[in-house]
Amino acid sequence: MARSLIFLSVLCFTVFSLADDHIDGPVNPRVDLAGIYVFHSPQRPGFLNITLNTQSGLPAIGKFSTQSRFKIMMRKQELHTQGNRLWLNSVGDQLMIDCQFSRKSFRGPQKYSCHLTSPKFPDGYPLQGEFNQTTSHGDIAHSFLGAKADPFFISLPSFDGVVFRQNFIEVNPLEVTNGIRNVNVLSLSFEVNLQALGLKSGLYGVAGQSLWKNRPRGHFHKADRTGRPEIVNVGLHDSTKKNFLGAGDNPLKKSFNTLDPFTEDVNQLYPFQVRIYENIKAYDDLDGRRHWNEKDLINVSGIFSNDSLLINLNESCYQKASNFLEIERAIFNNIPLSGTCGGRDFSDDIFKKIYSFYIAGPQSVTDQFLTGINRPYQDFSPSRALSNEFPYLASPSSFDLSEFFRGGRLLLRNQEEL
């Protein structure tokens, strides 16, 4: 019995490593990023919501470490073509939000201090507040840094089938539940006024980065990064790993996580591009047909290796729902980017879109590969749901070990068939 519990503990820890950007390699859990979201505010037209989540799986009373540091970066992107080559690069208009934390005692209140820079505030604008409190910063921004219920949702049987078995598994929606339900995160949420910050319309890439120092007076070093969901756990997956255990032990993932976002050095990006190319090519074969041509495979793996979450800041997108991978689909279908919105909100069914994009190509129908899980907090509706008010996420749940082990039991049953 004890051995089974130990195995399930390790297995469940690995569950979190294989979801969005959750523990996607040998990362300190106190600065492990759990995904980034960016979408136009449903409350405030002209404001943009950017949410960076970290520490998936912590108790509701968990707080940020004073030895941690988190950055949110947004840079304008420009699409270039030359012959058969196609790529995106940064052209300026940068937003940076750099956050650190303090508290006088272990049980005392925690405070945060964020430094925002933008074209209108090149020398910085302070965003300060207390943990778990929503704070208004005039017409510039609103912020919330605290504990919330993780909005991420995943069907583990489908993930297991695509990534490890190379076979998409049709699931009965009545038999599948969210593989990481009842899990909390620490959330860094901001709604920023685009005009007040001097951010013009156009295509932007958004990324998050975490840093850690080993002692209070030490120096920060890079720990993790995130952009598009699942670039690391699906795109950089090591195909020699045939089950969940050991999948996080991937040197390429560690190298990717410690590379600064928006790095454009082709020599540094090349190993990641090769692995993403190989994996998408393998996923493309899952339905028995080839949808990606060689030119597009090379170009999409290049764009994904320099990873960021794309969003269009055109005013026509202000009242539209976010649409993950919409911009990437437009690029490879020669559709003008001015009519796309992109981004990612908390309700975006990313796995449906990722599986369709990888397996059936950029021209695929996005609801082609359904997993049975299609919204956050699905297992708890209507008792837990997204809020209509900033920061929109549900309150954190009490930490329940039975939920932690439930995912492990499900994976153990599936892995026994391998």
Distance between CA atoms of residues 20 and 34, nearest Å: 6
The pLDDT of residue 168 is 81
Amino acid, res. 205 = G
Cis amide bond preceding 173, omega within 30: no
For 127-149, give one letter per residue: b (16+ CB within 10 A) or e.
Answer: bebebbebeebeebbbbbbbbbb
Strand partners, 69: 211
Distance between CA atoms of residues 418 and 413, nearest Å: 10
pLDDT, mean of each 10-residue run, the chain (418 residues): 43 48 67 95 94 88 93 96 94 91 84 97 97 97 97 90 82 74 93 96 96 94 95 88 62 91 94 97 93 97 96 87 92 92 95 94 85 84 86 84 47 40
Both structure tokens of 69:
């540091």
What's the pTM? 0.90
The pLDDT of residue 257 is 93
Query: Quick count: other Cβ atoms within 10 Å of Cβ 367?
Result: 11
The pLDDT of residue 26 is 53
Residue 138 contacts by C-beta under 8 Å, 6 or more apart in sequence? none
Is residue 386 classed as helix, strand or coil in its secondary structure? coil
3-state secondary structure string across the chain: CHHHHHHHHHHHHHHHHCECCECCCCCCHHHCEEEEEEEECCCCCCEEEEEEEECCCCCCCCCCCCCEEEEEEEEEEEEEEECCEEEEEECCCCEEEEEEEECCCCCCCCEEEEEEECCCCCCCEEEEEECCCCEEECCCEEEEEEEEECCCCCCHHHHHHHHHCCCCCCCCCCCCCCCCCCCEEEEEEEEEEHHHHCCCCCEEEEEEEEEECCCCCCCCEEEEEECCCCHHHHHCCCCCCCCCCCCCCCHHHHHHHCCCCCCCCHHHHHHHHHHHHHHHHHHHCCCCCCCCCHHHHHHHHHHHHCCCEEEECCHHHCCCCCCCCHHHHHHHCCCCHHHCCECECCCCCHHHHHHHHHHHCCCCCCCCCCCCCCCCCHHHCCCCCCCCCCCCCCCCCCCCHHHHHHHHHHHHHHHCCC
The pLDDT of residue 2 is 45
Count of the separate structural domains present in the chain: 1
Distance between CA atoms of residues 37 and 345, nearest Å: 6
Distance between CA atoms of residues 403 and 409, nearest Å: 10
207 vs 51, 185, 238, CA distance in Å? 10, 18, 23
The pLDDT of residue 402 is 46
Residues of the domain holding 119: 2-415
Distance between CA atoms of residues 226 and 34, nearest Å: 8
CA angle 203, 205, 209 (to 5 degrees): 165
